[in-house]
Structure 1
Amino acid sequence: MHRVRSGLERGAHVLAGVEVGRDLDGRICRARVQGAAVVGRDDRDGRQSFLAARAEDPQRDLAAVRHQDPVHAVSVASVGELDGKVAIVTGASRGIGAAVARALAAEGVRLGLGSRSGDDLGLNAVARRVDVRKRADLDRLVSDTVDTFGRLDILVANAGVGAYGPFLELSEAHVDEMIDVNLKGTIHAVRAALPQLLERGEGDIVAIASVAGLRAFPHESVYNASKFGQVGFIRSLDHELRERGIRCTCIAPGGVATDFALGEGRGRSEDVLTGMLTAEEVADVVVFALTRPRGMRILTTSFRPMTEDSWG
């Protein structure tokens, strides 16, 4: 067993031969020890420690870690499950999309990133300017990603917009943009990526939805409609694609502390963001869903900060 003890910053580091993908401010950290994984944390003495499994027999060592420290060990279903895979992430330049891209890169995933800025986030990814309302942009992103890496395994449809307020006060432009980006943008992204996934005989489609796709809120009528549509689309695809090896998952977080949370029609004070989820926490749930054994799938997962009311 290999123990690493150090205070860590966000980002990739190499410490005592262990490549640490990220440290979520003291929460779960994933890493690789020559292809294995950090599976837990022990901070009982007030310092950060990471328990890692060696690569020779990672499943055996993971079991040993859990036996040694069952309280602090974090179960990892498939060591190295994502290493070497290829993912496309839309809306990747900031917020949840950027956090997902960085989390996947830390797992060894090669990336095709689509955003209106075309930023590669310093990840040496295929990065293209993409407006998800334009099918041709998405086709080009998929084509360029596959040409570069030779395959496609994962689509994360993250691009989204929001405008809020009484229904009759929403402009037609706002209505069109929310439907075209949130719902039709997801549909266009799946149309572009799905043939590649079907050709491989397995893959993952992950839509970053919202609790607003599961519950209606006042002054969010069209945003609700776009997100309910997105969730319904992905749930229907699950029925259609499950037997062809494609897992379809909706990630439906509550409030997330990004610029999106200060969207059109909402308060601009950053006090609004207090107590919300972080983009990195959402990204961690995406990685969790993608690293489940291929024999299981997560359909829709919703989670909220402790400061946000539950419902239903």
Structure 2
Amino acid sequence: MTYQLRDLKDQVIVITGATAGMGAATAKELVEQGAKVVLNARSKTRLKAMVASLGEANATYVAGDCSEPEISRAVAKAALDKFGTIDAVVPNAGIGMYGSILDYSDEEVNRMMRTNYEGTVHIIRACLPTMIEKKAGDIVIVSSVAGFRGGGDESIYAGTKHAQVGLAGGLDRELREKGVRVALVCPAGTETEFAIGAGRTAGTPVLASFLRSEDIAFQITTILKQPRSVRTHIWTLWSINQQS
């Protein structure tokens, strides 16, 4: 018997951190699967370019910082105004820095927590009422393997990812009876602008051995395509060359 995966055609999916790396790859993969996407990131210029490449019939955007509740609410409203519903949300926006806990400024510490954790909370809160009303939906939080065991040079970042892991576990128990599934995608190092901006160097052998954004996009799409009778939760990914 052929296993029946869900068809994502016309599913409306909100993605934060959508203009680069894993977010951009996920948006592209989902549109190729027939979904409609609602994109959020800080750069309006890059968002407009993303929508143009994906097709205005398939995508819309709201520029701004999703850690601000009013921006997250505007993203959810844009989804409803353009496509009439919300079927899934992929909180993906994140920042990270490497170094000792004493290396960061107060603002850098606060910005990591706001972006990585509060941004996740607020976009979920904005999108969730529509999914609860339908008794169907998916939340796929993009976290990190650092959410289970942080490295010695990423303590603050790992703490924000642990917070996402805890949030996902609680939401899974809270929402499953309401028809909303909660999954957590936790990749190891991935070759993205994020990794380079956090202190890795483009073109180095270490970065070249990392996962690719498309690896994570495929996993997110696979989660969303599972039959509604199936609930998955934690997905961890490493490249074949990475050590856990």
TM-score normalised by structure 2 residue count: 0.93
1:168 to 102, 110, 114: 102
Matches within 5 A, 1:60-209: 63=2, 77-78=4-5, 81-118=7-44, 119-120=47-48, 121=50, 122-123=53-54, 124=56, 125-209=59-143
Distance in 2, Cα, partners of 1:233 & 1:138: 17
Output the amino acid matched with 1:275: S
Work out whether residues 133 and 180 of structure 1, in 8 Å CA contact, stay in contact via their aligned partners in 2: yes
Work out whether residues 67 and 115 of structure 2, in 8 Å CA contact, stay in contact via their aligned partners in 1: yes
Q: Does 2:230 align with 1:304?
A: no
> What is the SS of the residue equivalent to 1:219?
coil
Distance in 1, Cα, partners of 2:200 & 2:25: 24
Output the amino acid matched with 1:78: L
> Which structure: greater helix fraction?
2
**Identity across the alignment (%):** 35
Q: Does 2:225 align with 1:291?
A: yes
2:203 to 264, 270, 293: 270
> With CA pairs under 8 Å and 6+ residues apart, which has the higher RCO, 1 or 2?
2
Which portions of structure 1, spanning 4 or more consecutive aligned residues, are displaced by more than 6 angstroms? none
Distance in 1, Cα, partners of 2:4 & 2:212: 24
Work out whether residues 114 and 128 of structure 1, in 8 Å CA contact, stay in contact via their aligned partners in 2: yes
Instruction: State the structure with more CA Rg.
Output: 1
Q: Aligned residue for 1:220?
A: 154
Work out whether residues 164 and 170 of structure 1, in 8 Å CA contact, stay in contact via their aligned partners in 2: no
Deviation at residue 77 of structure 1 after TM alignment: 3.3
Work out whether residues 190 and 212 of structure 2, in 8 Å CA contact, stay in contact via their aligned partners in 1: yes
Output the amino acid matched with 2:17: G
The aligned length equals: 235
Deviation at residue 84 of structure 1 after TM alignment: 1.1
* CA RMSD of superposed structures (Å): 1.3
Q: Aligned residue for 1:252?
A: 186
Distance in 2, Cα, partners of 1:97 & 1:302: 17
Distance in 2, Cα, partners of 1:246 & 1:267: 37
Distance in 2, Cα, partners of 1:267 & 1:131: 24
Q: Deviations over 1:72-127 (max 9, x none)?
A: xxxx6325x21111010001011100000001101111111011113141222111
Work out whether residues 138 and 188 of structure 1, in 8 Å CA contact, stay in contact via their aligned partners in 2: yes
Distance in 2, Cα, partners of 1:187 & 1:269: 31
Distance in 2, Cα, partners of 1:108 & 1:305: 28
Matches within 5 A, 1:10-25: none
Work out whether residues 132 and 181 of structure 1, in 8 Å CA contact, stay in contact via their aligned partners in 2: yes
Output the amino acid matched with 1:279: S
Deviation at residue 290 of structure 1 after TM alignment: 0.6
Work out whether residues 164 and 263 of structure 1, in 8 Å CA contact, stay in contact via their aligned partners in 2: no
> What is the SS of the residue equivalent to 2:40?
strand
> What is the SS of the residue equivalent to 2:90?
strand
